[in-house]
Structure 1
Amino acid sequence: MGRLDGKIAIITGAARGQGEQHVRLFVAEGAKVVFGDVLDDLGEKVAADLGDNAIYLHHDVRSEDEWQRMVKEAESRFGKLDILVNNAGILQFGTLTHETTLDDYMRLIEINQVGPFLGMKTAIPALMRNRGGAIVNISSTNGFAGYGGTIAYTASKFAVRGMTKTAALEYGKAGIRINSIHPGGIDTDMTRPEGLGEMTAADQAAVYDMVSLARVGQPQEVAKLALFLASDESSYCTGAEFLIDGGMLAGTINPYARPTYD
């Protein structure tokens, strides 16, 4: 038996990377999934690979109409909705606050913050019709701490963390659990933008020195955490934030207090 047998899920930003891994793992664990993205060619390939267990729709998370379409598709095709994973997001970094244009700031806020709001707003009535369910909002370590050159991204991820807690308080008695996941450095296309070039060995060493486990995370690892929070195994978890960052936010690594290994 799968951990999501009989469950129906909506997953956003799922044509590639972390979102794609959510879709593949959820289907492998027994769920039927309606997933969306704006990268249609990639999304349709994922859906074709998964057959009748997954439906791909073009989905701009800034559009309330397209959100309504996603929920309608889940209910009309599969009869209900159990799970929402708000995964879609974009990353812009390297621009200082005074250099950030209002257009760039608002575009990121609309996708990363308004998108999850619209997702919850649209999915919650369907979850209430189903007498409960789970929402998993993908935030970031930037939802806990600032990082230079990411003013809009950090604002959006703090907002997701706060919205998660507020909605969890509002809908707990309706049987809806709402939690947030906060990944650190994960190896996806979003964290490897074109034009930045390959990291040098020195760059990699500097990054790894910030992470206790001394490596980047893999999207499959985040998907496993999302699976837990979407499943009945996390039945007493709501309004909580779950870090998956290799220990990056645990504190500062002292280079003079490291263990040695044979």
Structure 2
Amino acid sequence: MAGRLDGKVAVITGGVSGIGLGTVELFVAEGARVVAADIQDEKGRMLERRFGGAVRYARSDVTVEGDIAGALGLANSEFGGLDILFNNAGISDMMRDVTEIQPETWSWIFDVLVRGPALGMKHATPLMLARGGGSIINTASIAGLQAGWGPIAYSSAKAAVIHLSRCAAAQLSPQKIRVNAICPGLIATSIFGASLGLPREVADQMAARVAEHGAKVQPVPKAGVPEDIAKAALYLASDDSEFVTGTHIVVDGGITVGSRHSWDQSGPSPFAALFPELGADAAAD
């Protein structure tokens, strides 16, 4: 049975752990050849050994334009071109008040989360045009849609990613290059530990806690895992989404549908809190 990405070549940044790794695994299973770009060399070498000729690792700091160009160039030289770019590499700041943010931190967050994808698109476009088109996918976040889901610099950058994707789609889609974003919710990865300032090893362990408790705070009673985002990326990367561009897909187990009372009647109703004299039953009506 043919895979949905047979014959396609992809570059995935942040590709050796978390969402990136889950997407590498799924894309290879669906027939793609993949360059996994990251800065975790040991994990990258292990990934190459695991998948043999289907995966190449490229050391790539997405804040360095030459690194991004190099990873995309590797896809071209090793696999003959480029069809898919998943700008997924991410970092997070610690939770802090806007009055406490440091200029250097703000710049670092935006360099990785916004400038990195923009540079990726810059260098991917000529390679995709040579193949007759392609698909660019950017990892945004529900933090870019609503306040309260992440640190302020991170949340602001993810909002920028959503609009960057929309603007780039307007420019590139007439040339058969589609651009879309994915907004993950609570996905069990190390980024939550990183936002608390924990070392990478401890942050990786914290992902297990997110997996354990995530299902309790959203309508869908299942912990979000990297494969959930990988499946959305597969749809956007494949020809199944050839009529989809300039939009974002929210993959969050329903956590942003409304207040807890909207999906858990035992939770506090904001309407009832405003009008307690009506009683809980009347407020529910």
TM over 0.5: yes
Whether 1:248 aligns to 2:249 is no
Gap runs ≥5 in structure 1: none
* Secondary structure at the counterpart of residue 168 of structure 2: helix
2:265 to 254, 257, 260: 257
Q: Look up the match of 2:223.
A: 216
Gap runs ≥5 in structure 2: 268-285
Q: Look up the match of 1:103.
A: 104
Q: Look up the match of 2:281.
A: none
Q: Look up the match of 1:58.
A: 59
Cα offset, 1:191, TM superposition:
2.1
CA distance in 1, matches of 2:48, 2:191: 21
TM-score (norm 2): 0.84
Which amino acid letter does the alignment assign opposite residue 220 of structure 1?
A: E
* Secondary structure at the counterpart of residue 249 of structure 1: coil
CA distance in 1, matches of 2:264, 2:82: 52
Residues 10-58 of structure 1 deviation map (CA, whole Å, 9 limit, x = unaligned): 0001111110111111011100001111111111111210110000010
Q: Look up the match of 2:234.
A: 227
- State the percentage of identical aligned residues: 36
Report the structure, 1 or 2, having the larger helix content: 2
Whether the 8 Å CA contact 1:164–1:179 is kept in 2: the answer is yes
Whether the 8 Å CA contact 1:95–1:149 is kept in 2: the answer is no
Q: Look up the match of 1:239.
A: 246
Q: Look up the match of 2:154.
A: 153
Q: Look up the match of 1:93.
A: 94
Whether the 8 Å CA contact 2:93–2:151 is kept in 1: the answer is yes
CA distance in 1, matches of 2:48, 2:64: 22
Which amino acid letter does the alignment assign opposite residue 13 of structure 2?
A: T
CA distance in 2, matches of 1:171, 1:94: 35
Which amino acid letter does the alignment assign opposite residue 137 of structure 1?
A: N
Whether the 8 Å CA contact 1:212–1:248 is kept in 2: the answer is yes
Name the CA shift for 1:220/1:208 in 2 (closer, same or farther; >3 Å).
Answer: closer
Residues 130-162 of structure 1 deviation map (CA, whole Å, 9 limit, x = unaligned): 110101111000111122761110111001000
Cα offset, 1:208, TM superposition:
5.2
Q: Look up the match of 2:84.
A: 83
Cα offset, 1:248, TM superposition:
1.0
Whether the 8 Å CA contact 2:215–2:224 is kept in 1: the answer is no
Whether the 8 Å CA contact 1:96–1:148 is kept in 2: the answer is no
CA distance in 2, matches of 1:148, 1:141: 7
Whether the 8 Å CA contact 2:190–2:206 is kept in 1: the answer is no
Residues 209-234 of structure 1 deviation map (CA, whole Å, 9 limit, x = unaligned): 64112443010111011011100111
CA-based RMSD of the aligned residues comes to: 2.2
CA distance in 1, matches of 2:101, 2:24: 34
Cα offset, 1:256, TM superposition:
6.7
Q: Look up the match of 1:181.
A: 182
CA distance in 1, matches of 2:118, 2:126: 13
CA distance in 2, matches of 1:216, 1:156: 25
Whether the 8 Å CA contact 1:133–1:177 is kept in 2: the answer is yes
Q: Look up the match of 1:2.
A: 3
Residues 176-198 of structure 1 deviation map (CA, whole Å, 9 limit, x = unaligned): 11110000000012223437897
Which amino acid letter does the alignment assign opposite residue 64 of structure 2?
A: S
Q: How many residues align?
A: 255
